Amino acid sequence: MIYLVVTAGLILLLVLGFPIGVALGIIGFSGYMLNIGPVMAWVNAGILPQKMSYSLMNFLLISIPLFIFAAKIMNGSGITKRIFSFANTVVGFLPGGLGHANVVSSLIFSGMSGAAVSDASGLGQIEIEAMTSHGYDPDFSAAVTASSSTIGPIFPPSVPMVVFSTISGVSVGKLFLGGVIPGLLMTAAIMVMIVIYAMKRGYERLPVPTPGEVVLAFGKALLPMLTPVILLIGIWTGVFTPTEAAAVAALYALIVSAGVYRDLSFSGLFQLLKDTARETANIGFVIAAAAFYGWVLARSGMTMFLAEWIGSVATSPLAFLFLVNIFFLIVGCFLEAIAAILVFGPILYPVSVTLGIDPVQFGVIMVLNLMIGLLTPPFGIVLFIVRDLAKITFRQMIRATIPFLVPLFAVLILMNLFPGIVTWLPGMLK
């Protein structure tokens, strides 16, 4: 009974517009009161800050503010423009050229940010302005920008995968490598959709670039594009851990922006540090509140109930993954990705292990489902961010984005049917 109250209560508060961290904290403590009684709950109220603070005492979480800081530096300097210019030079000759540049630049930028929101809010402004100024429909430009932003948390590095690692114990390095091939497949699938739209609507394309133009654009964007290469090689060879990779990414971005390109002033750096601290605090509060809420769910018996129900229904790994996909696609419409991983990951992950599902495959599938949720109404945060950038109505945003869910679902289905898409690269990491 208690788990029904805390689940329904959380949905109600989210519908009413409460911030996710606040909603989790309120409903978590309310469920705790129902569990042991109001008097004892207030007597033992100290358990709330204890559980919340304990959830943040994880070395892996240090990487989150560092990846955020690296992305802020990239956005705060001219690096994002250099990346987009290079992508436009290389793929702009394809039908719907700027749309492809949008997707490729998101793939490159994902190697620095690890978050869909950073991509959408950072590169999004540049991408949408470039596309609309060249005759692309605003809603199409917004849909391409929103769908391509989901590549960020799949292609390494990835903030959600760091969070999944903290609740599962799965190697962050293997999770990062597990996202490489799915991220590339997502890029290719979205580009196919762009070609279909471009041929139907007659969008312009650039002339085929000369070798000199490619070399020039590559030279301007070379240093920032080396970031994901350095991170992957460093993790793969064991030179540094994934957490240390976040520090390397932040330091490298700072050196390139301030030391090489000289696009970053001291005052600008100070503002980026404040913005990073603010976003880190928001994420930290959500993590802490979700940890307490998940603990209350476990005490209420929901963990055991859900695990037993799924175990009785899902008689095979594929059936279990089918249920997990449906579940997280729904959850992703209402709950922020990090909170969803923290609340439901500890419940479903042990069941997946029991059924023999590869932990890396399960983690990447969970993250992709939740990224698709960022594009799904009514609470998909990327929809709101991109809608504001494109200056279109929310209805236009939804209508334009729905077709671009098709390539994302196609990749998701392939990941479920063919685990090797996710597990092959991590299997090479010893």
- Higher pLDDT pick, 306 / 284: 284
DSSP 403: G
Check: CB of residue 158 under 8 Å from CB of residue 367.
yes
Confidence band of 360 (pLDDT split at 50, 70, 90):
very high
Burial class (CB in 10 A: 0-12, 13-18, 19+), 177: buried
> Worst-scoring range by mean pLDDT, 210-219, 338-347, 355-364?
338-347
- H/E element holding 4? helix 2-15
Residue 136 and residue 204: Cα distance in Å, rounded?
8
Distances from the Cα of 34 to the Cα of 11, 30, 49, 417, angstroms: 18, 6, 18, 42
Cβ-based neighbours of 299, under 8 Å, separated by 6 or more: 32, 35
Which residue in this structure is represented by tokens 């630049």?
105
What pLDDT shows up at residue 430? 57
DSSP 59: G
What CA dihedral angle connects 24, 379, 71 and 290, to 10 degrees? 10
> Could you tell me where the DSSP H helices lie in 114-210?
116-133, 138-149, 159-168, 172-178, 180-201
Please report, as a single letter, which amino acid is at residue 291: A
Q: Which of 250, 397, 221, 285 is nearest to 19 (CA)?
A: 285
Mean pLDDT of the chain: 80
Tens-digit pLDDT profile for residues 365-402: 999 998 888 787 666 677 777 887 788 887 888 889 99
> Worst-scoring range by mean pLDDT, 51-55, 69-73, 144-148, 188-192?
51-55
Asked whether the predicted pLDDT for residue 261 surpasses 90, the reply is no
Report, as an integer, the average pLDDT of 16-35: 77
> Could you tell me where the DSSP H helices lie in 301-404?
302-313, 317-334, 337-354, 359-373, 381-390, 394-401
Confidence band of 111 (pLDDT split at 50, 70, 90):
low
Asked whether the predicted pLDDT for residue 126 surpasses 80, the reply is no
Residue 426 and residue 58: Cα distance in Å, rounded?
23
**Among the ranges 86-90, 123-127, 333-337, which has the highest mean pLDDT value?**
86-90
Residue 288 and residue 71: Cα distance in Å, rounded?
23
SS3 261: coil
What is the value of pTM for the model shown? 0.78
Confidence band of 403 (pLDDT split at 50, 70, 90):
very high
